[in-house]
Amino acid sequence: MIETVASIELPADETLRIRKNRIEPKRLTGNEKRISIVTGIHGDELEGQYVCFELARRIGLQQEKLTGIVDIYPALNPLGIDSITRGIPAFDLDMNRLFPGHQDGNMTEFLASQIVRDLSGSVVALDIHASNIYLTEIPQIRVNKLHEQELLELASETGVDFIWVHGASTVLESTLAYSLNSTGTPALVVEMGVGMRITRSYGDQLVDGIFHLMKKLGLWTGDTGAVREPIISRDPDDVVYLNSATGGIFIPAVGHWECLHQGELIGQIINPLTGTVLDEVTAPVDGILFTIREYPVVDEGSLIGRLLRKEACGKRWEER
C-alpha cells in the first residue's frame, strides 16, 4: 500500500511528495512490530534503490510468511534523485543535516519533521547510503559510541562485512540516524558501494541480511540464508588512511576487499602526458582494503583507500 508521508506545494502547480510502501501481513493482529527501510536522503546515492525493489519483490513472493510490518521509503529526497543532486536542489542543502526538523519551519524543516514522525516507533530503521562518486565501500554499518549498546546486536544480524564504531566526537546531531536514536527508535546507518551506481551483489547481500534481521525480530517466518559474521572495529587505530602524495591519475593494481601485506602495491599514480609513474601507493601495514578509489583523477592529499589492520580482522583474515 503506497502512502504519502509528507507533501508540499511547489511552484508551477507541482507537488513534492515523499512516499512509502507499507507491506503488511495478510492477517493483522494489531500488535505487529514494524521495520523501516530508508534511502534516498542524498540524490546521488542510488545503491538503496535496488535494495528497496528486491526487498519488496521477495516479500511479495511469500507474503504469507510476513508477521510484521515493513515500511519502505525509497526516496526521502525525490528532487535530488530526479536531478542527480546530492542535496535538495535550489536550496543547496544537505537533507541529512536538517533533522529532526520543525513542524512550523520552512519547507525543508517541515519535511524533515514529518519523516522523523513517521519513522518513530519502528523496532529498527535502516538508513541506507552509498559512498560518493570517488570511493567504493564494502557493505558496512557505522555506529556511534553513544548508542553502541542498543545498536551493535542489531547491526551484527544484517550480514554486512564490517561494523565501524565511531567515537562520539564524530557524531553529527542533525542526521536522521542521530535524531531517531536519541528519541528511542534504533537506527542503523548502512554505507556500501559507490555514488551514482548500483552494485547488485552488495544489494543482494544486504537484502539477505534484512530478512535475517526480520526473522530474529519476529517479523518473518520464512527461510533465510546464513549471513556472514562482521568484523567489528572500535579502535580508531584499526583503520589506516591512504592519501595521494601527488596529483595525477590513479590506476589500481588490486581489487576491493583484498588482503594485503605491508609493502604490497595497491596502485600507481601516473602522468598520461609524459607516460611516467609519479608515485606507487603501497600498503603501509598488513590489512584488508575496505575502501578504494573509484574516480581516477586525484590531487595531492586525495583519499586513495582505507585499510583495516590485520590485527582487527580476526578470523576473517584467514578466511580471505
pLDDT one-digit tens code per residue, 120-139: 999 999 999 999 999 999 99
Of 271, 263, 265, the closest CA to residue 298 belongs to 271
pLDDT of residue 90: 79
Cα(214)–Cα(199) distance, rounded to whole angstroms?
23
Angle, helices 200-217 vs 47-61, to 10°: value is: 50
Query: Burial level of 26, CB count in 10 A (0-12/13-18/19+)?
Result: exposed
- Mean predicted confidence (pLDDT) in 153-166: 96
Q: Is residue 319 over pLDDT 80?
A: no
pLDDT of residue 163: 97
Cα(231)–Cα(238) distance, rounded to whole angstroms?
11
φ, ψ of residue 21 in degrees (nearest 5): -110, 110
Q: Is residue 157 over pLDDT 80?
A: yes
Q: Is residue 170 over pLDDT 70?
A: no
Contact indicator for 25, 135 with CB cutoff of 8 Å: no
Alpha carbon 60 to its chain centroid, in Å, reads 24
Assign 91 to helix, strand or coil: coil
Percent of all residues in the chain with a pLDDT value above 90, rounded to a whole number: 91
- In the predicted model, what is the mean pLDDT of the chain? 95
End-to-end CA distance of the chain: 43
Residue 158 pLDDT grade (very low, low, confident, very high; cuts 50, 70, 90): very high
Q: Is residue 11 over pLDDT 90?
A: no
CA angle 82, 84, 90 (to 5 degrees): 80
Residue 265 identity (one-letter amino acid): L
Contact indicator for 288, 242 with CB cutoff of 8 Å: no
Assign 56 to helix, strand or coil: helix
Cα(247)–Cα(250) distance, rounded to whole angstroms?
9
pLDDT of residue 267: 98
pLDDT one-digit tens code per residue, 188-209: 999 999 999 999 999 999 999 9
Cell of 245: 602524495
Cα(195)–Cα(43) distance, rounded to whole angstroms?
9
Residue 98 pLDDT grade (very low, low, confident, very high; cuts 50, 70, 90): very high
pLDDT one-digit tens code per residue, 209-264: 999 999 999 999 999 988 999 999 999 999 999 999 999 999 999 999 999 999 99
pLDDT of residue 320: 67
* Least trusted range by pLDDT, from 141-155, 165-179, 206-220, 276-290: 165-179
pLDDT of residue 73: 98
Cell of 214: 526480520
Residue 184 pLDDT grade (very low, low, confident, very high; cuts 50, 70, 90): very high
Cα(118)–Cα(57) distance, rounded to whole angstroms?
23
What single string gives the DSSP state of each residue in 97-142?
Answer: GSTT--TTS-HHHHHHHHHHHHHTT-SEEEEEEE--SSEEEEEEEE
Tally of CB atoms within 10 A around 230: 22
